[in-house]
Amino acid sequence: GAGVSQSPRYKVTKRGQDVALRCDPISGHVSLYWYRQALGQGPEFLTYFNYEAQQDKSGLPNDRFSAERPEGSISTLTIQRTEQRDSAMYRCASSPNLIDTQYFGPGTRLTVL
Amino acid sequence: KQEVTQIPAALSVPEGENLVLNCSFTDSAIYNLQWFRQDPGKGLTSLLLIQSSQREQTSGRLNASLDKSSGRSTLYIAASQPGDSATYLCAANSGGSNYKLTFGKGTLLTVNP
């Protein structure tokens, strides 16, 4: 079946612009996670949802970052007023439940100029 | 706060050799531990998941073990092949009400033909 998909795969934006990154989880997966990965590092947790409820957003760096999953399926990570330090690979994962295998999407490479 | 460490950071072996990758975590109250493979510029592929109640999991030439009390996991790769060359990441799914994955920085494995 189809895996986790993310769009866009690459996003180049200018400093100060808002960006929205989309994640489409595996069908039927109730848990959805967002991570950010810098070069040479493992992914770092940003936030996660169980169904439509955002249960932990402790990893979001500041209030410019927000995420939603209004219908318990597709999720959007929004970064407002982007800064160069926001440049990274943003990865989404989904899971059948909170303690099962997390399956990762291909990621969105964000570059802020 | 959960911290995950992977040793060694890089490993180079000749083809056919058996090898062990190490992962340690500071908080033993985990739900599970997951091993991933990441190829250069690619996404994360799940290899094995060990639940906290399990001691090991096997998939083909891969065997992962878990010792919660000592905060350690190992990934054993038998009869290594050049196609096994990649970065291997371990991640702990912390316990309590916290279901995020905390990743190590990974071990870069090179298998030489």
Residues 69-108 of A with CB under 8 A from B: 91, 93, 98-107
Task: List chain A residues with CB under 8 Å of B89.
Answer: 42-43
Q: Do A91 and B46 touch (CB under 8 A)?
A: no
Tell how far CA B40 is from the center of its chain. Answer: 17
Residue B102: its chain A contacts at CB < 8 A? 45
Q: What percent of chain A has pLDDT over 70?
A: 99
Whether A92 has a pLDDT exceeding 70, the answer reads yes
Cα separation, A25 vs B30, in Å, equals 24
Amino acid B5: pLDDT: 97
d(CA B88, CA B94): 19
**What are the chain B neighbours of A40 within 8 Å (beta carbons)?**
105
Q: Cis omega before residue A25 (within 30°)?
A: no
Q: Does A1 have pLDDT greater than 70?
A: no
> Distances in Å between the alpha carbon of A105 and those of A11, A76, B26, B98?
16, 14, 28, 22
B32 with A59: Cβ contact below 8 A? no
Is A98 a residue whose pLDDT tops 90? no
- Mean pLDDT of each 10-residue bin along chain B, 113 residues long: 94 97 94 94 93 95 96 97 97 83 96 96
- Mean pLDDT of the residues in chain A: 95
Question: What is the rounded average pLDDT of the residues A19-42?
Answer: 95
- For residue A3, pLDDT beyond 80: yes
